[in-house]
Copies of this chain bind each other. A is one copy, B any other.
Amino acid sequence: MGYTDLDQLAINTIRVLAVDATFKANSGHPGAPMGMAPVSHVLFNKFMNFNPQNPDWVNRDRFVLSNGHGCMLQYALLHLFGYKVSMDDLKSFRQLDSITPGHPEAHDTPGVEVTTGPLGQGFSNAVGLAIAQAHTAGVFNKPGYELINNYTYTFFGDGCAMEGIASEAASLAGHLKLGNLIAIYDDNHISIDGDTKCAFTEDVTKRFESYGWHTVWVKDGDNDLEGIEAAIKEAREVKDKPTMIRLTTTIGFGSKLQGTGGVHGNPLKADDCQQVKERFGFDPQQSFVVPQQVYDLYNKTASNGAAKEQEWNQLFEKYASEHKNEHADLARRISGKLPEGWEKSLPTYKSTDAAVASRKLSEAVLEKIHSVVPELVSGSADLTGSNNTRWKNAVDFQPPEYNIGDWSGRYLRYGVREHAMAAIMNGLAAYGTIIPAGGTFLNFVSYAAGALRLSALSRVRVIHVATHDSIGLGEDGPTHQPIETLAHFRALPNCMVWRPADGNETSAAYYSAITSKHTPSILALTRQNLPQLENSSIEGAMKGAYVALEAPNAQVTIISTGSEVSIAIEAAGYLKEKHNVAARVVSVPCFEVFDAQDKEYRLSVLPDGIPVLSVEALSTMGWERYAHEQFGLNRFGASGPYKEVYQKFEFTPEGISKRALATIDFYKGHTVRSPINRAFQQIL
């Protein structure tokens, strides 16, 4: 309360910076920053705890700009508060290799929590950050030690509100009663097609209420700073529900085009820029100007934040004396280190062990490691019994009043919300104290493609437990049988796709997923049983590919993954017996990891002189990378008992042998170079 001209000057400084940066770039979105400058000013200065000198402080309040196209708002704030975002960085807005790209990227810019822009994602990340806070508090807070009590704030616009992913996340947030989550809806009635009345006339407030949210409406978000402050205060006081503040604003406030679509995604014209500056008392001839008193004001907030972190550090130190183990655990998590020796708990298998479905092997891993990796938080999009994602004594993460779990619970019931699950996991991972794993059928990871690509781009460690990974799921049929899915995610940069063939490979997949701090992983797992392979080992699988069956004077190498590896090995026996042909078999549980090995190793796995046939019961797309010839499924599958489906499509020792012989024949008399040998290196 008690806002002065200085507050207004600060707000207008943000607006003018957004005008200048988009004008200079000749690209970008001035409208949202100009409309949301007032609420940003109030929120960051009156409520948020953060220390620009240490953007990683674990108990900082989190801020997510879900309408990421408005990122000049965030960059301006980061600059004013003294994060490592300079005026030159603002001048390089949307320029090559700057830290101020067209949409906020967490790994590029200090103070950006998550990568946003694709609509609905940031909102859902915020739900993940809020869950992470509640869980971390549930685990570590003790009487007298409210170590973890930060809020998560997110701004979202009409676009985010229309996206299904945000609906999913909002419904779950309401169910989970996330009192520390405050979402501020920029109700400006404008989206790219113009007035939202052409496509979006629902009652957003009523919808959020139906999810169990508390709601508040600030009718004049352009000017009513007191009203904004009161709304945020009210939201913070509601502890058993998330709050949605509907903030009615004027997009592009101050522009001649304010309130229209014209100011959404295009810089202001030169004369409009001048007009805005004059209106706000700035020199129309100057650009990128910040009055010193605005810097001073924001520095004060920043200093307060630094002091808050100091206090917190003292509390955390004191916590060590009373709660030694918890202190050590949290300190370790914050440092990013894994528990010493955790990997010794990974199960290993001998070839004489029973055949087991890899979804069950995955469950065995979780059963073994959950106690030694306490930051592991599992879950499923309503397929718990099928994904095998829940260890036996797991406790659900639920508000205690439901009597079906508590805040410290490490198992999340995401509901049938695959896209939100993936985005929430991005938020969980971004919080810094959790390694999230979440299950669905591999086919339905596609529903989450939008979030997965942000996992990869923003370099977070999330684990997708993707069961029922092929036609091997049988009767559910083509609607549920993935064909294109592995090609899709193998083509996604910085995403590890694992398709383990047995128990040791499954353990290796988890080892890789958990130790890859900056990379998401998809574990493609079977519904059907798989035998334990003779030559498999965690070490071999950890190289991404290894020789599963060596054969002197081999005429062909069969390279395969997952459930087809043991069939390929059978095929090698069949070829020997029926055709006196020697065949090697290579298992390649993970392309991305194999590609990272040195060339000598890769050539030892796929040597010159021997043609390679790939076998995988999904699209052949991409297999040419390792194989001269490809056997796969470039059509949809079929509904039936899985063994019959495999027969139908000839994924049998006979079917593979037939193609191996054709491959040998085709390359007879030709010089065969390993697919590992290439003319040039890719840009990476």
**Chain A: residues with CB nearer than 8 A to chain B?**
25, 27-28, 68, 94-98, 101-103, 105, 115-120, 158-160, 162-168, 171-172, 174-175, 191-193, 197-207, 209-212, 380, 382-386, 396, 398, 402, 404, 413-417, 419-420, 443-444, 446-447, 449-450, 453-454, 456-457, 474-480, 483-484, 487-494, 619-622, 624-625, 628-636, 638-641, 644-645, 648-650, 658-659, 662-663, 665-667, 670-671, 673, 677-680, 682-684
The answer to whether A164 and B162 touch across the interface, beta carbons within 8 angstroms, is no
* Residues in B whose Cβ lies below 8 Å from that of A633: 683
Q: Point out the residues of chain B lying under 8 angstroms from A413, CB to CB.
A: 193, 198-199
Q: Which 5 A-B pairs have the closest CB atoms?
A: A164-B164, A624-B624, A96-B640, A101-B639, A666-B679
Q: Which residues of B contact A662 (CB under 8 A)?
A: 679-680
Bound CA span A31–B315, Å: 54
A-B contact pairs, 27 of them (CB 8 A): A101-B639, A102-B639, A103-B477, A103-B639, A105-B477, A118-B443, A158-B416, A162-B415, A163-B164, A163-B417, A164-B167, A171-B200, A174-B202, A175-B199, A191-B416, A198-B398, A199-B382, A206-B206, A207-B210, A209-B210, A447-B449, A490-B621, A494-B635, A620-B682, A630-B682, A635-B683, A666-B679
- Is the beta-carbon distance between A94 and B384 smaller than 8 angstroms? no
Would A457 and B475 count as touching, CB distance under 8 A? Answer: no
Interface centre among A202, A457, A667 (most CB of B within 10 A): A202
> Given A158-B416, A162-B415, A202-B210, list of 10 further CB < 8 A pairs?
A115-B479, A116-B479, A165-B447, A204-B210, A209-B210, A210-B210, A446-B453, A484-B491, A635-B684, A649-B683
Residues from chain B with Cβ under 8 Å of A475 in the complex: 25, 27-28, 94, 102
Are B103 and A444 in contact (CB-based, < 8 A)? no
Given A163-B164, A449-B449, A621-B621, are A193 and B94 neighbors across the interface (CB < 8 Å)?
no
CA–CA, A105 and B650, complex, Å:
23
Q: A382-B192, A413-B199, A671-B670 are in contact. Are A493 and B484 (CB under 8 A)?
A: yes
Residue of B nearest to A622 (CB): B621
The CA of A163 and the CA of B414, in the complex, are separated in Å by: 11
Q: Which residue of chain B lies nearest to A415 when distances are taken between CB atoms in the complex?
A: B199
Measured CA separation A384–B202 after assembly (Å) = 21
With both chains docked as a complex, state the minimum distance between the C-beta of A308 and any C-beta of chain B, in angstroms.
32
Q: Do the beta carbons of B162 and A119 come within 8 Å of each other?
A: no
A447-B444 CB under 8 A given contacts A382-B162, A479-B118: no
Once A164-B164, A679-B662 are accepted as A-B contacts, the answer to whether A203 and B210 lie under 8 Å apart by CB is yes
**A479 CB contact (under 8 Å) in B95, B98, B102, B671:** B102
In the complex, what residues of B have CB within 8 A of residue A683's CB?
633-635, 649-650
Contact B480 A198 (CB under 8 A): no
Residue of chain B at shortest CB distance from A177: B201
Q: Are A386 and B192 touching (Cβ within 8 A)?
A: yes
Asked if residues B94 and A200 are in contact (CB atoms below 8 Å), the reply is no
Cα of A160 to Cα of B417 in the assembled complex, Å: 9
Residue of B200, B476, B487 touching A491 (CB-CB under 8 A): B487
Contacts of A493 on B, CB cut-off 8 Å?
Answer: 483-484, 619, 634-636
Chain B residue at minimal CB-CB distance from A645: B96
Q: Which of A28, A95, A96 has the largest count of B CB atoms less than 10 A from its CB?
A: A96
A382 interface neighbour in B191, B620, B663, B684, Cβ under 8 Å: B191
Least CB distance, A221 to chain B, in whole angstroms: 21
Min CB–CB distance A495 → chain B (angstroms): 8
Q: Give the residues in chain B near A200, CB-CB below 8 Å.
A: 171, 175, 415
CB of A207 to closest CB in B, whole Å:
4
Within 8 Å by CB of A480, from B102, B384, B666, lies B102
Interface centre among A454, A639, A645, A650 (most CB of B within 10 A): A639
- How far, in angstroms, from A166 to B164 measured CA to CA in the complex? 8
One of B192, B385, B630, B667 near A383 (C-beta < 8 A): B192
The answer to whether B479 touches A484, judged by C-beta atoms less than 8 angstroms apart, is no
A673 to chain B: closest residue by CB: B670
Instruction: Specify the chain B residue showing the minimal Cβ separation from A651.
Output: B683
Give A520 Cβ to nearest chain B Cβ, in Å.
13
CA distance A115 to B480 in the complex (A): 11
Known contacts A478-B101, A480-B117, A483-B492, A96 near B639 by CB under 8 Å: yes
CB neighbours (8 Å) of A490 from chain B are 621
Residue of B nearest to A487 (CB): B491
Nearest CB to that of A414 among chain B residues? B199
Contact B477 A102 (CB under 8 A): yes
